[in-house]
Structure 1
Amino acid sequence: MRTSRPTRSLALVAGAGLLLAACGSGESNDTSASSTSSESASSSSSAASSASSSVAAADGSRVTLTYDGGLLVLDGETLDLVADLPLAGFNRVNPAGDGRTVMVSTSEGFQVLDTGTAVGGDETEPTLTDVVFTAPKPGHVVRHAGKTVLFSDGTGDITVMDTEDLTGATEPPETQVIASEAPHHGVAIQLEDGTVLSTLGTSESRSGVRVLDASGTEVARNEECPSVHGEGTLSGEVAVFGCSDGVLVYRDGAFTKFQAPDEYGRMGNAYVSETSPILVGDYNSDPDSEGSLLSELVLLDTSTDQLQVVDLPQGVRYTWRDVGRGPADEIVLLSTDGTLNSLDPATGEIQRSWDVIAPWEGPAEWQDPHPALVVHGDIAFITEPAQQRILAVDLTSGEVLAEGELPATPNEIAVATGIAAS
């Protein structure tokens, strides 16, 4: 165990909240922007061997991994291989929110993977179903307030459905489709009262967020969030979006823009908890940086309107795949030095650190396999592509609860929790 401290901290006061604002400009390279699938003929059907602890890693859950040519579904407790499902192309995975199904972004759209957890019935074998939500360039999947929202980058269409309707579905459930003003790499969320927040942009640039009421009527917009990317919801149903110059916040029916301390200060992904008022975001203050590795975090406490940028200690770097929130809303970060770190979300200070995997280099392209982290309860699932393995680590002690060897190099990861959506 070791501790370390961030080297820089800056506090800012929010700019004026605006319901209507002049159009912003500017575009940045997204390290996680594209979800377009590329076809590949390779596949793998070999079995995985697993050296697993008798300690349960995550009762009832199942872990889905992508590889070049298919999907692996593992038991969340033992990390034993449950299924190897061939699927050509570069595919992405996101939990659908019902505790059982996973949305697989393929060349056709969003295809439903039934992982076979016991939600909605008995545990079954995983199945890549015939349920497909057709979407050119399938993008973000958002889960909130009992709704699952899909965004098609190719059309700008927003597809909204009741999350619970996905469990055991053999055909697409009833949906609501909302059109964007233009196709773009975007994201949308539906709030508890039926309000929809969706990004604004074109194939060339993105500028902000619009608000539609439950009837579909636009009631507000803010276009001072250049390169808008990344979405999250905090306690009190405060919605946040990343910009290339700060953070855009929507709460109580109004927008507030929090300006970054740097001329270029991009937040591209939000790591949030709906029981915390603190946004944790990845952050890049160098517009000329290359690659996907980052060494800064942005923290925004929406209860005090204080924003700070934290420099991580030397040697601690990460990508957009390597940050999560723990059971006490702490920041969980997997670093290129091979450590798993627990950070105070109020200060960004590293409180605990454990050596879990070998040091690793950042990917040449964002799509390339590299270590990934996902948190479920007090368990961190961590992939180590170079060793073709996955670990389950107890976030309260740093103990490795289970370890699985994989038949292929893992890329993306998603967890079906085995817990029905509330």
Structure 2
Amino acid sequence: MHLVRLGAEPTKVGADIRAAIAAWGAGRSVLGGVAVLGCRPPGSPRELDAVIVLPRGVIVVLGVDLPEPVLKLDAPVGTPWTVDGWPLVRTEGKVNPAQEGLESAAALARSLQSRGLEPLPVAAVVAVGPYVGQVTQPTADLHRGVRVVSPNTTSVLSAARELATYEGPCDAASALGLLRVLDAEVPGDTLIAEGFPASPEVDLAGIDTMLIPKYSEDRPRAAAPRSSPRGKVLGAVAALAVVFALVGALVLGSSSASPPEMPSQRVDGVEFAQHATDRVGECGPGSYGDVQRFFQQQPCRGLRRGIFESRLGPSSVAVSIAIVDLPDARAATELRKLLESAGTGGISDLLSQGGGWPGAPRDFGDSARSVQQTANQVRVVQAVWSQRRSHPDDPELRAMTERGLRLNV
């Protein structure tokens, strides 16, 4: 782990965080990566004790100072924390530090996406000190990409290993661009020594392949067995029986047959059930506002859309994704900037076109949204609560849109 110190620790526990990370040592023998200490990324609601940039993920680290050591900390995301059975009262900021962690992670993710940088997931670690004997988090909260830990080497290292699980490593050049967003400069050879590949790795799983059977004109044909007239009659009767059985099965089963179940996907341990998908060659009919006028002047190469349902604890979340393929990166950059601007329209979701399900929300109004550009492709993801009011800045919905950027349609 390579350390870059930009400023003083904003919390007292920040010194323990720095010592815990420094104990991992240089190089990739323990974990690798770069830790930027005492920084405030663009859009972050507060100064962070550290941002850890790993080959398979980015982690923001927030320190929380308690007046004295505690034995047990109950740390849910949605409600106030409990310290040794007593509520942790806060006079400012969010209802608890975990929400600040999710908000900081979402702000950094938006900054990276707006610059078209490597789409690594951004998670949060909240280090509570000076000492916490036991931390309890709901299982559903662990899936949201936040860990609350004591500021020691083992706890912070375990949290980093659990959260940095992106399927492909970030290369050194992309890591350098990411670190520059944090105002940190690290030599390329240092990044390679810390586990970042020198060049992007090719994702062979994403390459379309087709199996072609081997054919040889010289292969001898097998001799057909001779059969008797009686055998021909019995064969014909058997063939007719099979045909009638198949026809009967189709007739009887047509009324009770159900459509095949749509596939589901998992991202960061969160399951997304797919409800509808489509693929078209023109983007204009599936868009509105200034975005539709953009497609009239700059036709796309294709549009893929999908709609998913997921759960955060007891609550259901609807997630819509649209993937636009454009002729070149210049057109993709123009579309991304247009989609990131307020009041410029957008791409219609499948929910508005009858792709709903029992319990689905009425629409994607007040949804959280993430936009990502990769070369000549632009992804747009929206997320709303199915049964309660949504807000574009909801940190939990923001986290769901960032996961949605890694869904396949």
Q: Say yes or no: TM over 0.5.
A: no
Higher relative contact order (CA closer than 8 Å, sequence separation 6+):
1
Normalization by structure 1: what TM-score?
A: 0.27
- Structure with the higher strand share, 1 or 2: 1
Structure number with greater Rg is 2
Normalization by structure 2: what TM-score?
A: 0.27
